[in-house]
Amino acid sequence: MGQLIPALRFQANKSYTFRSHAQGGGDNTGVVPYQIGYAAIDNTPSSFVALVTARIAVGADWVLTFVAPASGVPLGKQVMVRFGQGSDGGVGDIWFDNLELRTMP
């Protein structure tokens, strides 16, 4: 599950924070791969390239932050956030709520 944000593009030295609440599904266990990345091809979510991944055991509120470099990739690319899949380290089913992406400064 993920979201491409068409109007939001990576800018130099800006931080991007993806946060949410995640809880294990029916068995109250699981691991969620939180990811921040970009669309390699504009407006094409299937072209997702991960910049940072954190594999988090569920059960609370979680935060993942990426600080864009001063130059190079991914500057100018469309921002995407997502929960990865099994091949990214995901385990079990999850329930999630209050997803948010914040940028600073």
69-82 pLDDT, tens digit each: 999 999 999 999 99
- The domain limits of the chain are 2-104
- pLDDT attached to residue 64: 95
- pLDDT attached to residue 26: 84
Show contacts of 58-61: CB within 8 Å, 24+ apart: 58/22, 58/23, 58/24, 58/29, 58/30, 58/31, 58/32, 58/92, 58/94, 59/22, 59/23, 59/24, 59/28, 60/21, 60/22, 61/19, 61/20, 61/21, 61/98
Segment 55-101, tens digit of pLDDT: 988 887 789 999 999 999 999 999 999 999 999 999 888 888 999 99
- pLDDT attached to residue 37: 99
- pLDDT attached to residue 6: 96
- pLDDT attached to residue 61: 78
Segment 15-50, tens digit of pLDDT: 999 999 888 888 888 999 999 999 999 999 999 999
